[in-house]
Structure 1
Amino acid sequence: MNWLATLVDYGIIGILLLLSILVVTLATERFLFFRRLDPAQYTSRNVLELHLSRNMHLIGTIAGNTPYVGLLGTVLGIMMTFHTISTSSHMETEAIMVGLSLALKATAIGLVVAIIAVALYNLLVRKTKDILLQWDIRHER
């Protein structure tokens, strides 16, 4: 069952760290785009909205799914713990604690990534709405 510990430690947590890097990269790109954007250059609100919302779905998808990836790590860590308990002739506290700590670590990292992704997504959605409202005000007839 050592492969399961490796899967949780490097696989699940590695995926979560990769997703966190992806979220921060996408959000940074969006914030830089918003900073240099001049809404007055757009004659169509739809084109502006299309440019503003680029890659936002990825941030939202990551925000929605990272708790489940963390939960998968939790389930695998607990499965490893139960397997260790069932195959041992005597219960080793150390082996049980390793499995449970892996499970909790995966959960914690999944929640941290999700919280950051949701916060960034909400900030970007709000900024997008502000820019669109500015465009609407400028182009009122």
Structure 2
Amino acid sequence: MEFLKLHLDHMVLAVLGFMSFVMLALALERCIYFWQMRKHLAQFQHIELLKVALTRHLTTISSVGSNAPYVGLLGTVLGILLTFYEMGQGDGINVNNIMVGLAMALKATAAGLLVAIPAMLFYNGLLRQVDVLVSRWKALQDSQA
């Protein structure tokens, strides 16, 4: 229990930091790919192959956005459990210690939301770019026919 008490914040923030790093790296990769793809749309002979190429890594970005709040919530729940455990182990109830424990626990939820909100914004923006590029590909196909 002591290990969890000492390292819970670090573990939750490390997981959320890793999720954030992965999401940002993949979003940047997709932005660069989409920028380059504008010139090479004619390479694709079938629309489904184009969609597969364009939507690569979007599931991971969406998963980060969907699951980061749950990671933060898990940290909050564990922090609250630790606070209640300490209350049960003590001789008296110290309101200051309880409030500090609860505030620190809620930090994990806030961090989860700080990761999830940009992830979902990136995901929706990138999904819009997929739609635009697919529409441009269809327009190219129509003009060539």
TM-score range, shorter chain: over 0.9
Partner of 2:126: 124
The answer to whether residue 64 in structure 2 is matched with residue 62 in structure 1 is: yes
Displacement, 1:86? 1.0
Question: What's the CA shift string for 1:103-140, capped at 9, x where partnerless?
Answer: 11100000111101100000010000100011011112
Distance 2:27 2:19 in 1: 12
Once structures 1 and 2 are overlaid, which stretch shifts more, 61-70 or 40-49?
40-49
CA contact (8 A) 1:77 1:102 kept: yes
CA contact (8 A) 1:70 1:107 kept: yes
Distance 1:6 1:131 in 2: 49
Once structures 1 and 2 are overlaid, which stretch shifts more, 92-101 or 27-36?
92-101
**How many pairs does the alignment contain?**
141
Partner of 1:20: 20
Where does structure 1 lack aligned partners over 5 or more consecutive residues? none
CA contact (8 A) 1:8 1:102 kept: no
Distance 1:6 1:63 in 2: 27
| RMSD (CA atoms) | 1.4
Displacement, 1:13? 1.4
Displacement, 1:93? 3.7
Partner of 1:44: 46
Distance 1:75 1:115 in 2: 21
Of residues 107, 114, 121 in structure 2, which corresponds to 1:112? Answer: 114
The answer to whether residue 89 in structure 2 is matched with residue 87 in structure 1 is: yes
Where does structure 2 lack aligned partners over 5 or more consecutive residues? none
Partner of 2:34: 34
Once structures 1 and 2 are overlaid, which stretch shifts more, 3-12 or 19-28?
3-12
The one-letter code sitting in structure 2 at the alignment partner of 1:26 is L
CA contact (8 A) 1:85 1:96 kept: yes
Displacement, 1:92? 3.0
CA contact (8 A) 1:76 1:103 kept: yes
Once structures 1 and 2 are overlaid, which stretch shifts more, 70-79 or 97-106?
97-106
Moved over 6 A (4+): none
- Aligned-residue identity in percent: 38
Partner of 2:5: 5
